[in-house]
């Protein structure tokens, strides 16, 4: 009887910078209000990284928390994948800096760039590396200092984003026939570069030689988001032979409460099955899904045996979903 390789989530962890910026504080420097922000996107506050605190610092802190949660030392990790849009440097990758900061001198490390979908892309990538035998244990991290891409005079974008990091430890398990189902069951990833200019940063090494700022056609992004999210969720469920009714938890990218509510309603999911942290974290891009996951695991909502759907959509456009048996 042959065994099946499964990528099981062994531990989760997160890190949020100490500084919290409320809507009222933002309203002192930009033409906005707490009521306007909450009504449109459902955000109350966000965390902002301190001066001298970099994406790799946030990522390493979240990674340590995830390893502690898993009861696994750095020597047991084979691969580090960091999903980020805001690496410390143009190169090397944030992942190699995290590798150094964690004292890991073996294995390999690299970044993934799929903007807000990055963590879901990274989970699918780690699952592939585990299943093809290249790694047994993988640190998958979503980390951002997105505040450094913002034009703080542009009220349409600066109110939406925050900084933070979340991480999971994924581990190979060889499941014998008849063993209970565990780990990543299936993932579906999508992209469509025709929409690149609906959400982008107007800078880069090859174009301007500068970092640039975020630009977004908000209504256009919203128009595409709900449909694309629901399509990829249905595709993932179908691949695994499940339906929406089988889901215990839906952990979406935390971009905007109206998008989260719209996707949940279109899927027919009761609101109590949807994990929402956008109010306290804002949109942390690639960090948002693992941050939300960490909250729901820590407060006891997500427990072993639960069927959990991760989902995200970001610039590119990129979008994707992963179905996990916890």
Q: In CATH, what number is assigned to the domain containing residue 248?
A: 3.40.47.10
What domain count does the chain have?
2
Q: Rounded to whole angstroms, how far apart are CA atoms 170 and 97?
A: 20
Indicate if 20 and 134 belong to the same structural domain.
Answer: yes
Indicate if 136 and 191 belong to the same structural domain.
Answer: no
Q: Which pTM does this prediction carry? A: 0.98
> Where does the pLDDT of residue 2 fall: very low under 50, low under 70, confident under 90, or very high at 90 and above?
confident
Residue that is last in its domain, among 131, 151, 175 = 175
What's the pLDDT score for residue 133?
Answer: 98
Indicate if 235 and 169 belong to the same structural domain.
Answer: no
Indicate if 30 and 135 belong to the same structural domain.
Answer: yes
116 carries an active-site annotation:
yes
> Where does the pLDDT of residue 1 fall: very low under 50, low under 70, confident under 90, or very high at 90 and above?
low
Catalytic residue among 116, 158, 195, 281: 116
Indicate if 140 and 216 belong to the same structural domain.
Answer: no
Check if the beta carbon of residue 26 is closer than 8 Å to that of residue 32: yes
Indicate if 189 and 105 belong to the same structural domain.
Answer: no
Indicate if 295 and 153 belong to the same structural domain.
Answer: no
Indicate if 255 and 107 belong to the same structural domain.
Answer: no
Indicate if 275 and 295 belong to the same structural domain.
Answer: yes
Q: What percent of the chain has pLDDT over 90?
A: 99
Indicate if 269 and 189 belong to the same structural domain.
Answer: yes
Catalytic residue among 47, 253, 256, 281: 253
Interacting residues of 53 by C-beta distance below 8 A, sequence separation 6+: 17, 145
Which tens digits make up the pLDDT trace of 29-78?
999 999 999 999 999 999 999 999 999 999 999 999 999 999 999 999 99
- Please give the mean pLDDT across all residues of the chain: 97
249: β partners: 308
Is 90 exceeded by the pLDDT of residue 163? yes
Residue that is last in its domain, among 175, 197, 216 = 175
Is 80 exceeded by the pLDDT of residue 172? yes
- The whole domain housing 162 covers 4-175
Indicate if 169 and 208 belong to the same structural domain.
Answer: no
253 carries an active-site annotation:
yes
Indicate if 18 and 152 belong to the same structural domain.
Answer: yes
132 carries an active-site annotation:
no
What's the pLDDT score for residue 104?
Answer: 98
Residue that is last in its domain, among 157, 175, 193 = 175
């Amino acid at each position: 009887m042959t065994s099946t390789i499964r990528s099981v989530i062994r531990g989760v962890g997160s890190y949020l910078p100490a500084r919290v910026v409320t809507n009222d504080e933002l309203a002192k420097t930009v033409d906005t209000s707490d009521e306007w922000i909450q009504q449109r996107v459902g955000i109350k506050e966000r965390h902002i990284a301190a001066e001298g605190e970099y994406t790799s610092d946030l990522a390493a802190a979240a990674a340590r928390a995830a390893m502690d949660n898993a009861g696994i030392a750095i020597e047991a990790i084979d691969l580090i994948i960091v999903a980020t849009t805001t690496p410390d440097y143009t190169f090397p990758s944030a992942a190699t800096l995290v590798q150094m900061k964690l004292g890991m001198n073996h294995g390999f490390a690299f970044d993934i760039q799929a903007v807000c979908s990055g963590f879901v892309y990274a989970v699918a990538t780690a699952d592939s590396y585990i299943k093809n035998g290249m790694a047994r244990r993988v640190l998958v991290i979503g980390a951002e200092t997105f505040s450094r891409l913002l034009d703080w005079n542009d009220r349409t974008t600066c109110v939406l984003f925050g900084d933070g990091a979340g991480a999971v430890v994924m581990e190979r398990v060889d499941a014998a026939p008849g063993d209970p189902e565990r780990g990543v069951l299936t993932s579906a990833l999508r992209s469509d570069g025709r929409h690149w200019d609906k959400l982008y940063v107007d800078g880069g090494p090859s174009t301007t030689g500068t970092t640039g700022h975020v630009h977004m056609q908000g209504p256009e992004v919203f128009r595409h988001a709900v449909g694309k999210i629901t399509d990829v969720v249905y595709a993932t469920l179908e691949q695994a032979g499940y339906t929406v009714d089988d889901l215990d938890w839906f952990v979406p990218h935390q971009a905007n409460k109206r998008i989260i509510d719209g996707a949940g309603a279109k899927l027919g999911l009761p609101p109590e099955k949807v994990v929402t942290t956008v109010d306290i974290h804002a949109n942390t891009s690639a960090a948002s899904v693992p941050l939300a996951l960490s909250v729901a695991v820590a407060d006891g909502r997500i427990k072993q045996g639960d069927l959990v759907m991760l989902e995200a959509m970001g610039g590119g456009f990129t979008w994707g979903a992963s179905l996990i048996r916890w």
